[in-house]
Amino acid sequence: MTDILVLGGGYTGVTAAIRAARLTRKTGGRVTLVNASPRFTERLRLHQTAAGERLKDHALTDVLAGSGVELVLGRVTAIDPERRQVRLDGAPGHDLLGYDKLVYALGTVTDATVPGVAEHAHVFDDHTSGVRLARHLDTLTHGTIVVAGGGLTGVEAATELAEARPHLHVVLLTRGRPGSMMGTAARAYLDRALERLGVEVRAGADITKVLPGGVELGDGELIYSDATLWTTGTTGLPLAAQAGLTVDARGRIVVDQALRSVSHPDVYAIGDAAAVSQKFGVLHGTCQGGIPMALAGADSLAATLRGRTPAPFRFGYMHQPVSLGRKDAVIQFTRPDDTPRRWYLKGRAAIAYKETVSSSPITLFKLLKHDLVPVRAFALTAGLS
C-alpha cells in the first residue's frame, strides 16, 4: 500500500483526494483526508454568510462517501518530512499519521501583521469567522462597518453587506482604487455599484492600527466602526516553514512544475498554499487556479507512483468574477497573465456567468468519484493550457 495523506478539506484538498483515490485505486493507493472541521466550507461565499444568508451545510462524510477516501478530523500541529509524519490535535487515536506521499492543501489565512488585526478585526478564514461577523451585525440597529481592502474580496464583502444590511453604513478603505486590476469600463461599472449601494469609498487609506472601535490611519485620522472586516491580504500557515520546507516570502510552499516541493519532493502543494511559477510570474491565490491545480497535483502524484514523468502544470487566467450583492455582478475577462482584456459582462449576464463558474463544487465532486469529469476539458475552461 502507498499511504497518501491530504491535508485540508477545502476546494483543492477534496478535489485532489477524490482524484488521487480514483487514479491510485488499482496500484495500492490509500488516501486519507485530514481536516479540522467536519463540514465542507464554500469559502468563496463567506461574504454571503457574513451578510446573514444561510447556505446549505455539506458534511465532509457525505461529500467523500463512495470515493474511497478516509476522513480524519483533527488540526494539523506539526509536519515532519524526514520521518514522513504529521501530528494532529483533537483526533483521538490519530495523534500521529504516517505517509508515503503528502498533499498540502491547507490554504492561507488572513495576514494579521498590522497591529490590532488579530485582536479586533473580523476575517474570512473559515465558516466560523463568517458566522461570528453575521451574529455581531445582527445586534446592531445602526452603526458603521469598515471593510479594509479594495481587492475583489473586499469589494464583494462591502457590496454584500451594504445590500443585506441597509441600516448600516459601510466604509471601504483601500490604498488604491477598488477593483484596480480590472479594465476601465468594468471598474467604472463597479464604482457605480458601490455608489448605488451607498458604500463610502476611501481610497489612499493606509491603516496603521485596528482598534476595538475603529481603525487608525497613517495621518493619525481615526475612523470609528462597530465592526471591522480585514481583507487586505493572506499568508501561509507557519507549519510549512517550521517543517523545513522551502517557502516564499508569504509562507507558501515553493513547488516545481509537477507541483512537488522543491526541497522535499514527497510533498505536493496545491491551491493558495503553493507558490507556483508560470511564464508570467507566480500565481496568486484564487479558486480559478485552485481546482485545476488540485487535478494536476493528483495526476502528477499518480504518474510518479507509476514510474512515469509527470506533465508540467501550465495555467493562464481567464476572468475576474465579482458579485456586487445578490442582484448585480461584473465579470472582467483577462489575458493569461490576469491583465484585463476589452471584454466584460455586467448585470444579469454577469450574475448568470458568475453563478455558473462559482457554483457549488459538490456536483464536481460527485462526478469525480465516478471518473465522469473530462479533466482536460474542465482544465481548459478553468484556464489551464
Q: Which of 213, 230, 247 marks a domain boundary? A: 230
Q: Output the CA torsion 135→136→137→141 (10° steps).
A: 110
Q: Three cell numbers at 134? A: 453575521
Say yes or no: 226 and 134 in one domain: yes
Find the CATH number of the domain harbouring 172. 3.50.50.60
Classify residue 255 as exposed, middle or buried by CB count within 10 Å of its CB (0-12, 13-18, 19+).
buried
Q: Three cell numbers at 375? A: 479533466
- pLDDT band with cut points at 50, 70 and 90 for residue 81: very high
Say yes or no: 118 and 162 in one domain: yes
Q: Which of 171, 206, 230 marks a domain boundary? A: 230
Whether 60 maps to a domain, the answer reads yes
Q: Three cell numbers at 69? A: 477516501
Closest CA to 130 of 149, 91, 156: 156
- pLDDT band with cut points at 50, 70 and 90 for residue 385: very low
Q: Which of 315, 349, 369 marks a domain boundary? A: 315
What is the per-residue pLDDT across 243-282, written as a single tens digit (0 to 9) for each? 999 999 999 999 999 999 999 999 999 999 999 999 999 9
Dist. CA 67–CA 317, nearest whole Å:
30
Say yes or no: 122 and 105 in one domain: no
Specify whether the CB–CB gap between 149 and 231 falls below 8 A. yes
Query: What pTM, to 2 d.p., does this model score?
Result: 0.94
Say yes or no: 93 and 120 in one domain: no
Going 114 to 48 to 173 to 191, the CA torsion angle's sign is positive
Whether 13 maps to a domain, the answer reads yes
Beta bridge partner(s), residue 321 = 331
Say yes or no: 276 and 181 in one domain: no
Say yes or no: 222 and 117 in one domain: yes
Q: Mean pLDDT throughout 342-352?
A: 96
Give how many domains the chain has, as a whole number: 2
Q: Residue 28: give the domain boundaries.
A: 2-109+234-315
Whether 368 maps to a domain, the answer reads no
Beta bridge partner(s), residue 333 = 319
